[in-house]
Each structure stands twice: as C-alpha cells, then as structure tokens.
C-alpha cells in the first residue's frame, strides 16, 4: 500500500477536514496516511474519532504557514512548517506522495525546492480537472504556477497533461488543445502562435487551437495555456458557479410559492452541484516535480481530502513521473 503524507494544517478549518479525510481514505484502503502537524493536537483529534487500527501515523511539525504569508519568506524562515515536513517525507522516501491544502504559493515553492524538478522539466505546472457537459473530464494546465510562459513551456505542459490524463483516466491518446481565441491557426497572441508549430511536431494527439468554451463541452481532454490565463479561467469558473448557485436558489424560492416544488427541485439541484463540484476530483497535481504533490483548495472538505489522497496514490501507482520523463525525452527527438 502506498504511503501518502498529508499536511494536516492546510485547510481553512484545519485540522478537522484533514483528519477526517485521512480516516476515510485509510478506511477505504486508498493508502497508509502520514498526518503532519502538531503531535498533541492531532493525537487528540484522532482519538476523538474511530481511527483505532487504521494505518494512520502522526509526524510532528511545530510550525504552520498561513494564507497571508509570503511563499519564499515562509519557506526560508519556517524550516519545521507542516508543508515543509510533508515535502521532506516524500524527498526522503518515507512517503510516496504528499497533499496540502495550504497557501498554494508556499506549497509550490516548497515542493519545487525540496522535491526538485523532473529531468527535462523547466517549469512544473498545476493541472486542474474540470467536469464537462458530456460527463467526461478535461484537464487544464497551467492554472497558476507559471506566468509569462514561453512557447516551449507549453510543450512541457502538453506532455505532462497527456501523461497525467492517460494514467488517471485511462485514455490512450487524449486530445490536446491550445487555449486561444479562435480555432484558426492565425488567431491568438504571440505565445500561442509561437507554441502552435512546436505542439504540432509532438507525437501526441494535438488538435490545434481551442476556445474557452471547449473547456466544458467535452471536445478536448487536455488544454494547455500560460498560468496567468489558466488561473483566471479557474477563478472565473468558480465565481460564476457561485453566482449561479445563489441566483438559482433565489429564483427557485421566489417562484415556487408552495415550497413543495422547492423540496422536489432541491434533490435535483444537489445532484447538479455534485457534478460540477471540483472536490470530487480531489485537488490539483503539481506536475513536473520529483515525487507526487497534490494541491488542494483551502476550502477543501473531508471528501476533497479523501479524494486527494486517492489521487496521490493512483498517481504514484501509475508511475506518472517516469512516463513524463520518457515522453519528454521522446518529444525532444521531434525537434522540441
């Protein structure tokens, strides 16, 4: 069984979701869990829950990094932070992967420095899974690790996205698109026009430029873009889903004069929210670092942590990193 190190102090309501998620993941047999954080507090949390006999171990870390901390400064000054101890467990081979819902910048910085980059990867990237209206999943990368990308970075993202999708979703040749503002080759900006010919040379299923709407219509499985664009895309989506949820609730309760209809519609609404709920996909992997690093949303609940542990174990089982290095070496023979 894989061992996954979990930063227990990352979420907004830490350590509850982490401890509960770890228990559920361990009970489901996803992995052996190393819970990283203050020993006393975590022992207390565990003993209050039915965790006896489960493969969960506490690893002490005396410090935490908060959302307000600057990533690089926090990394330098807090050598015993839960994020850093978690990464160290992976680097020392004591864990097969890590997850953290803490300060995203700090997790990225720590993972890049403590774990190091894969052979051939210039820029590790965060890959986010989106649900599509066809019921399939689409992966967008980078969603925030890298801004001001150069064309060859998008090539790395394509190879990493391809491999991740292949391993996690079992599709042999996922379709890969370049996020642009029109399907025609000449549409786009300096970056996309520079990346397009490089991407075409890859021995992958690259289908050319795609548009924003293709993220949700199932036309493509992997979409690559600069991290600034990807982050805006992610947050626009989150914002719109939030706005729609609240508008819809309002509209439903004001229209259905009898509350009967509301109760009937509620179940449908919950099903729908589950379909667009990112937590089902269990966090976003930082691709391109040595080892497995899954970054979760600060608002992650028990279910999200549980699923992130599952994804980390699958990632490790699937040997994603070995495959990325092999694919990148192959890609370099195609002129990249």
Interface with a copy of itself (CB under 8 A): 131-133, 144, 147-148, 179-181, 188-190, 211-217, 225-229, 231-244, 246-248, 251-252, 254-256, 258, 260-261, 264-265, 267-269, 271-272, 275-276
CB of 180 to a copy of itself, least distance (A): 8
CB of 234 to a copy of itself, least distance (A): 7
The three-state secondary structure class of 314 is helix
CB of 260 to a copy of itself, least distance (A): 7
193 within 8 A of 147, measured Cβ to Cβ: no
Which of 47, 72 has the CB closer to a copy of itself? 72
> Which residues, in sequence order, are bridge partners of residue 35?
6, 58
CB of 242 to a copy of itself, least distance (A): 7
295 within 8 A of 305, measured Cβ to Cβ: no
CB of 78 to a copy of itself, least distance (A): 19
Which of 28, 243 has the CB closer to a copy of itself? 243
Which of 215, 312 has the CB closer to a copy of itself? 215
Which of 214, 325 has the CB closer to a copy of itself? 214
Which of 237, 302 has the CB closer to a copy of itself? 237
Q: How far apart are CA 165 and CA 65, in angstroms?
A: 31
CB of 246 to a copy of itself, least distance (A): 5
Which of 272, 334 has the CB closer to a copy of itself? 272
Q: How far apart are CA 105 and CA 121, in angstroms?
A: 19
Alpha helices in the chain (DSSP H): 16-27, 39-48, 71-77, 82-91, 104-115, 151-169, 190-200, 227-255, 259-275, 302-317, 320-333
Per-residue buried b or exposed e for 41-52, using 16+ beta carbons within 10 Å of the residue's own CB: ebeebbeeeebe
Within its chain, how far is the Cα of 157 from the centroid?
A: 14
| Backbone φ, ψ for residue 23 (5° rounding) | -60, -45
């Amino acid at each position: 069984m894989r061992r996954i190190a979990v930063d227990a102090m990352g979420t907004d309501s830490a350590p509850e979701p982490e401890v509960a998620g770890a228990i559920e993941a361990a009970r489901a047999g996803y992995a052996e869990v190393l819970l990283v954080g203050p020993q006393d507090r975590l022992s207390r949390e565990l003993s209050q829950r039915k965790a006896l006999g489960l493969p969960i171990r506490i690893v002490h870390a005396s410090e935490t990094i908060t959302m307000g901390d600057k990533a690089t400064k926090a990394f330098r000054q807090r050598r015993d932070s839960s994020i850093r101890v978690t990464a160290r467990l992976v680097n020392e081979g004591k864990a097969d992967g890590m997850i953290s819902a803490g300060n995203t910048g700090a997790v990225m910085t720590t993972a890049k420095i403590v774990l190091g980059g894969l052979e051939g990867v210039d820029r590790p990237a965060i890959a986010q899974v989106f649900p599509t209206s066809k019921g399939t999943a689409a992966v967008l990368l980078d969603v925030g690790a890298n801004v001001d990308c150069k064309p060859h970075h998008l090539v790395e993202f394509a190879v990493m996205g391809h491999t991740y999708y292949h391993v996690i979703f079992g599709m042999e040749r996922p379709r890969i698109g370049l996020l642009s503002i029109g399907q025609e080759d000449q549409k786009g900006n300096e970056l996309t026009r520079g990346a397009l010919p490089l991407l075409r040379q890859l021995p992958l299923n690259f289908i050319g430029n795609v548009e924003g709407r293709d993220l949700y219509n199932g036309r493509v499985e992997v979409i690559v873009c600069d991290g600034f664009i990807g982050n805006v895309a992610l947050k626009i989506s989150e914002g719109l889903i939030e706005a729609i949820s609240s508008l819809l609730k309002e509209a439903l309760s004001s229209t259905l004069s009898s509350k009967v209809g509301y109760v009937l519609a509620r179940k449908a609404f919950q099903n729908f929210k589950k379909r667009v709920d990112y937590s089902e996909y269990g966090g976003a992997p930082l691709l391109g670092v040595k080892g497995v690093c899954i970054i979760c949303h600060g608002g992650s609940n028990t279910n999200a942590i549980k699923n992130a542990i599952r994804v980390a174990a699958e990632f490790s089982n699937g040997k994603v990193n070995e495959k990325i290095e092999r694919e990148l070496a192959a890609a370099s023979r195609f002129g990249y």
